[in-house]
Structure 1
Amino acid sequence: MNGQVWDQVVTLHARVENELAKALQRRHGIGLSEFRALCRLSRADDGELRMQELADLIGLNQSSVSRLVARLESAGLTRRDLCPADRRGVYTVITEEGRAAWAEAQPTYAGTLDRALGEAAADPRVAGLVATLRKTAALA
C-alpha cells in the first residue's frame, strides 16, 4: 500500500469517526467507544468478554478499556464478573439496559455512517476509497 492510499484511509476514518461520535453523544448520551463496546458485548457468547479481549476488539489499551468499562458500569450498561476457572480473569458482561441502549443507538450509528460515507463520496480526495468500501461491503 502506498502512502497516498493510507492518507486517504486516515482522512476518511477521521471524518466518519467525528460524525459518528457527535451523533451518538447528541442523540443517546454515549460515546463512540461505549457504543462499540456495547456492540461487541451484545454479539459475544453469553454477552461477555474478557477485559483484554474487549480492548483488542475496539482498539483501546488496558487502562483505557478499564476506564471505559467503569463508565459503562456506572451507567448500569455492563457489570464485571470473575472467570470461574481463573479468579484473576475479569469479564465485562452486558446488562439488559446495555442491550437496550445499544439497540436504540444502532439505527443512529448505521444512518450516520451511511450519511457520512455519502458525503465523503463527493470529496475527490477519498471518493475512490468510499466506492471500494461500499463495493466490498455489498459483496460481503
Structure 2
Amino acid sequence: MAAAIAAAEPLVSYQIDGDAIRQSLTGKAGSAEQGYAIASNRADGGCVLCHQLPGIDAAMSGNLAPPLDGIGSRLSAGQIRLRLVDSSRLNPQTIMPSYYRTEGLRQVVQPYQGKPILTVQQIEDVIAYLLTLK
C-alpha cells in the first residue's frame, strides 16, 4: 500500500455527523469506474486485500473483513465516507486503516507521516463504486 500514499496536498477538513461524513470531500461525485480500479488494486486502495469484492475471484480476495457486496444498500455515501476516512472513529479496535485521517496515528514511517493513503478524489471514487454494490 506504500505505493498508494497520496501526494502531498493540503488536507481537506470534514465534519463528522453521527456515523457519517455527509458532505463530499471534493464537492462533486466520484467515478465508480475509477473507484473499482482503486478498490480492486492490491497496491492502491487495497480493499481486496481484506474484503471480497463482487467479480473478483474469491481466491484473490481477502476474508479478514466482511464481503462488500450489498454495501450500497446497507450504508449511505456519508457512512461509507466515514469508514474510509477514519474507520477507527466507529470501531477503535479495527485493523482497517484510516485512508485519509493522519492525526493521532502511531508508528508511521517518517516519509509517510502526515500523508493520507488516498486523496479526497480517490475516496469519493471508491464511495461511488461501493454505492453501486446493491
TM-score, normalising length from structure 2? 0.28
Q: Using CA pairs below 8 Å that are at least 6 residues apart, which structure has the higher relative contact order? A: 2
Which protein shows a greater Rg?
Answer: 1
More helix by share: 1
Which protein has the bigger strand share?
A: 1
State the TM-score, normalizing by the size of structure 1.
0.28
